[in-house]
Amino acid sequence: MAKENICIIYGGKSAEHDVSMLTAQNVLNAIDKSHYHVDIIYITNEGDWKKKENITETISSTDELDLQDIESGDISRLLLETHNQEPYSAVFPLLHGPNGEDGTIQGLFEVLDIPYVGNGVLAASSSMDKLVMKQLFAHRGLPQLPYVSFLRSEFEKYRSNILKLVNDKLQFPVFVKPANLGSSVGISKCHNEEELVEGIQEAFQFDRKLVIEQGITAREVEVAVLGNDYPETTLPGEVLKDVAFYDYKAKYQDGKIELSIPAKLDEEVQQTLRDMAVEAFKATDCSGLLRADFFVTEDNQIFINETNAMPGFTQYSMYPSLWENMGLSYADLIEKLISLAKEKYEDKKKNKYQID
């Protein structure tokens, strides 16, 4: 039986480039190469696309995935010219942040009519933009903490008014976040107005729009969602920290994060979290995968924090670990996501594009 063609895309013009490289290493080492002819496309920090075909070896370091010495290629040609002229059964974008999980590359796949793993244009873009996400959650009736959002140009013009708004509507500590970034890049926990101004300036290095959220004393709990029209969920997992703030360095460099899977919660709370995760999945019209993040207070109040349409996907990240706890191995999870991508593509083909 001939192998199916699969293409894994990683890197990207994003502050989360290195996280993507690590994810790609993990997926490449787990994917069933006896079943798939695996090509890779590396997107450099400058946005150049470089392709290497038929990856069969184990990747021992992300340095092996840095294809700087390979000549850049035309994007559409790299995606459409395949082994034995058989189209890709699916492409697997392992891209985090802008230009990867924000709907832009998903739009390219749609135009080229290529099946792809994960969320579509709308789900990816709305899950990436924290303000739009919050507005959709509110429409669905999901409980959230208070927040304020504004643009860089607005802060430059109305700085004193905006600082007053934050002080009037929120209580310190607050979290300042770029609206369109993940992996805790550019996020600050601020305890006073001086730190707030510094946090705003930091966040505006990464995006023109930011969100400032009310801080809360609560447990940080996450639920993984998998599926298309009828999604399934995992038992919740909890993030246990040796640091005051679960930032990028703590997540990926210091190893100061411990995951408790499943989280020690009442069964009723667990079920509520799983139900809310499905509501969040539907609120943003997701497909394939989603991780929903929540706050749970000491008296079991639940607030949705955010969702991630392309969650951390290294072998030991929360999302795969939650499914491992449910009996779905990392390799089988990859296989399931590819299957869901093909299912979504076949369903889309049922649409009519001409009027009889």
* pTM for this model (two decimals): 0.91
Q: Specify the DSSP class assigned to residue 68.
A: T
Among the listed residues 238, 222, 231, the one whose alpha carbon sits nearest the alpha carbon of residue 336: 231
Q: At what angle do helices 104-112 and 121-128 cross, to 10 degrees?
A: 170
Whether 214 has a binding-site annotation, put simply, is: yes
Please give the structure tokens belonging to residue 232.
């399934």
Give the CA-trace dihedral at 356, 287, 332, 323, to 10 degrees: -160
> Catalytic: 125?
no
Question: Which one of 14, 89, 317, 321 is the catalytic residue?
Answer: 317
Q: Could you tell me which of 196, 231, 213 has the C-alpha nearest to residue 134?
A: 213
For tokens 């400032």, name the residue.
212
Question: Domains plus CATH for the chain?
Answer: 4-116 (3.40.50.20), 134-142+217-347 (3.30.470.20), 146-214 (3.30.1490.20)
φ and ψ at residue 305, rounded to 5 degrees: -90, -65
Q: Is 219 annotated as contributing to ligand binding? A: yes
What is the pLDDT tens value at each position of the chain, 356 positions in all? 689 999 999 999 887 899 899 999 999 999 999 999 999 999 999 999 999 999 999 999 999 999 999 999 999 999 999 999 999 999 999 998 778 888 999 999 999 999 999 999 999 999 989 999 999 999 999 999 999 999 999 999 999 999 999 999 999 999 999 998 765 678 999 999 999 999 999 999 989 999 999 999 999 999 999 999 999 999 999 998 654 544 555 554 445 578 999 999 999 999 999 999 999 999 999 999 999 999 999 999 999 999 999 998 998 899 999 999 999 999 999 999 999 999 999 999 998 887 87
- Copy the structure tokens of residue 85: 């002229």
Question: CB–CB of 275/286 below 8 Å?
Answer: no
The length of the chain in residues reads 356
State whether residue 261 is helix, strand or coil: coil
Say if residue 294 carries a ligand binding annotation.
Answer: no
Considering 4, 14, 16, 321, which one is annotated as catalytic? 16
> Was 176 annotated as part of a binding site?
yes
d(CA 230, CA 228) in angstroms, rounded, equals 6
Selecting among 183, 188, 287, 321, the annotated active-site residue is: 183
Q: Cα–Cα–Cα angle for 120, 3, 228, nearest 5°?
A: 25
183 is known as an active-site residue: yes
Measured at the CA of 122, the angle between CA 116 and CA 125, to 5 degrees, comes to 95
Prior bond of 173 cis (ω within 30°): yes
